[in-house]
A and B are shown apart, each in its own frame.
Chain A
């Protein structure tokens, strides 16, 4: 008998397959943390609330408007992107030049206020979103199950990531965005509107967070746990990959989701969340810049 089986109920490959939906969610949420941190230097602790808000919004749209779910999703993303840009321009931008803790605390305040407002509006009930596409299960080999919905979100998250990377690398918007991040003063002197460019970065980040929330909500449910276990926990893949690296997040998402899936299997489902946080602390201890992050992190 082989010590470690590849397939079958206790094999490695099914375990890796189990991690795919989680990795998808983390990729999207992680991108959101990374792009907002990288462009504006804000550690936005309200990302989880953004994700949950998008899910509630979609639920409300889907149950009140009787149009195709795709239109609802597009509407949600448009609203969320405007919301994200407005939050940056209306709140965070006003703290420019203050110590960085001010922005962290502001995001905590925003997260708290949003938690309360969403609690008032939607309560603590769990809602189900309508089915996105027909429920086909794929079973590439025994013990591994993937639904069509999972695969769709894999496509969406990888696609969105590639688009973002391409936009940042190759378009003039991306060049302006990088310039505004690198040196806001010089960029504005050369005619870049840092306000709008950084606002767009926040909008893109918010869309990523919303998609991440939806990637969780469609197969599971819409409810308050999304803020913590999906949103805030997205810090783990980001820190593993490198806080300011969009590419590193992809690797971080894969690593964290596999570690969590393995932990859930061998240590019990309650260990799933703390294991990811513990992994984050280990990285903080030994490799704070993450696997791909820039080494510019200042030690005191």
Chain B
């Protein structure tokens, strides 16, 4: 049954890719790129139970890695990506060790600080090397396969996402790491008394998630072809990723991907709504897209936290139970699996 589901999913995704216009494929690729970041953040927040506001920083670090090695074109594309991921992992280690040893809100504070330090470093590096024009990246190719069209990018990103997905789900479900992480997540005290080094496993989760997010930053740079440090210098990028995880449901991989899709589609959705309304509303929405976007972001976060803390995953679970029990409403055990 699982394999049939998987097969159907793959066929549907490939079919969608072949049907979309190049412009729609560009949006689909943006969703896939956001999904990397959301999955990475989700791994950390799910395992460590702490909030990281460092996504903008790690995306920036990945882009910086691509800017250091990529523009000359002499170093193969996969090497650049691995290099970017490695820098991300190292920075994650440096910040994660002090911040994750402490409980509570210190990881959030540390990652906010990291954002501003990375903005400054990246900005200074750009001013010192290429200046305002930014870096131009060559068309990447991997084993002779040129990534020169949105459709090719779509399949390439799908494959990478699939690999990351398999690694994450396998690590989480059937490795010693996964078992340790699950224990840490359900009860730190118990995990400690079972001989699990809680801090080390949290730092490990942070390093892995940082590396994946940095990789996403490098991939996004290649996808766009240009790198500007100013693309990464906003805390609101980090907040958007947090809202992806919160929308999807804390600790759920499907949820993270769905959240990434929703947040990425938000501006397009708003312009569609604007076009459906009168001309005056339409110009208002298109001129204020940024502000409206962050308002919707914030309202979604607040609403979900207040009314549906489990996110969409919990909604899906409730829907499933409702359908299972239908038409006997009183048999539904709503509180099962509540976050």
Residues on A close to B: CB < 8 A? 43, 45, 91, 94-95, 98-102, 104-106, 108-117, 119-120, 228, 232, 235-236, 239, 270-271, 273-274, 277-278, 280-281, 284-285, 288, 297-300
Is A239 within 8 A of B109, CB to CB?
yes
A-B pairs with beta carbons under 8 Å apart, 21 shown: A95-B306, A99-B49, A105-B246, A105-B305, A109-B239, A110-B298, A116-B290, A116-B295, A116-B296, A116-B298, A117-B295, A120-B295, A228-B235, A270-B123, A274-B116, A274-B117, A277-B112, A278-B117, A284-B98, A300-B102, A300-B192
0 or 1 for each of B196-215: is its CB under 8 Å from A? (1 = yes): 00110010000000000000
Interface membership of B256, Cβ < 8 A: no
| Pairwise interchain contact A115-B114, C-beta atoms closer than 8 A | no
In the complex, the answer to whether B294 meets A116 with C-beta atoms within 8 Å is: yes
A280 touches B298 (CB 8 A): no
Residues of chain B with a CB closer than 8 A to A112's CB: 236, 239, 243, 294-295, 297-298, 301
B131 vs chain A, min Cβ distance (A)? 15
Contact B188–A273 (Cβ < 8 Å): no
State how many residues of chain B have any CB contact under 8 Å with chain A: 56
Residues on B with beta carbons closer than 8 Å to the beta carbon of A288: 98, 102, 106
- A-B pairs, 7 with minimum CB distance: A113-B298, A109-B301, A116-B295, A112-B298, A274-B120, A116-B294, A119-B291
Which of A102, A116, A273, A281 interacts with B114 by CB under 8 Å? A281
Chain B residues, Cβ within 8 Å of A99: 49
Q: A108-B242, A281-B114 are in contact. Are A94 and B306 (CB under 8 A)?
A: yes
> Is A280 touching B109 in the complex (CB atoms < 8 A)?
yes
Residues of B within 8 A of A108 (CB): 51, 53, 239, 242, 301
The answer to whether B116 and A285 touch across the interface, beta carbons within 8 angstroms, is no
Q: Which residues of A contact B267 (CB under 8 A)?
A: none
Contact A270 B301, beta carbon cutoff 8 Å: no
Chain A residues with CB under 8 A of B95: 281
| Inter-chain pairs besides A113-B302, A116-B293, 14 sampled, C-beta below 8 Å | A101-B51, A102-B309, A105-B305, A108-B53, A109-B243, A115-B294, A232-B112, A235-B109, A235-B112, A239-B109, A274-B117, A277-B112, A281-B95, A297-B103
C-alpha gap A235/B103 in the complex (Å): 17
Inter-chain contact A271/B109, CB cutoff 8 Å: no
- Tell me the smallest distance from the CB of B68 to a CB of chain A, in Å: 20
Residue of B nearest to A99 (CB): B49
Q: With A and B bound together, what is the CA distance between A126 and B205 in angstroms?
A: 42
Pair A43/B101 contact, Cβ less than 8 Å: no
Q: Which residues of A contact B297 (CB under 8 A)?
A: 109, 112-113, 116
Counting CB contacts under 8 A, is B100 at the interface? yes
The minimal Cβ–Cβ distance linking B236 to chain A, given in whole angstroms, is 6
Indicate if the CB atoms of B104 and A297 lie closer than 8 Å.
yes
A109 to B242, CA, bound (A): 9
Residues of chain B within 8 A (CB-CB) of A284 are 98-99, 102, 106, 109-110, 113
Task: Point out the residue from A100, A109, A281 that lies within 8 Å of B113, measured CB to CB.
Answer: A281
Taking a contact as CB atoms under 8 Å apart, the answer to whether A98 and B309 are in contact is yes
**With known contacts A116-B294, A119-B291, A104–B108 Cβ distance under 8 A:** yes
Contact present for B302 and A281 (CB under 8 Å): no
Residues in chain B near residue A297, CB distance under 8 A: 102-104
Nearest A-chain residue to B297, judged by Cβ: A112
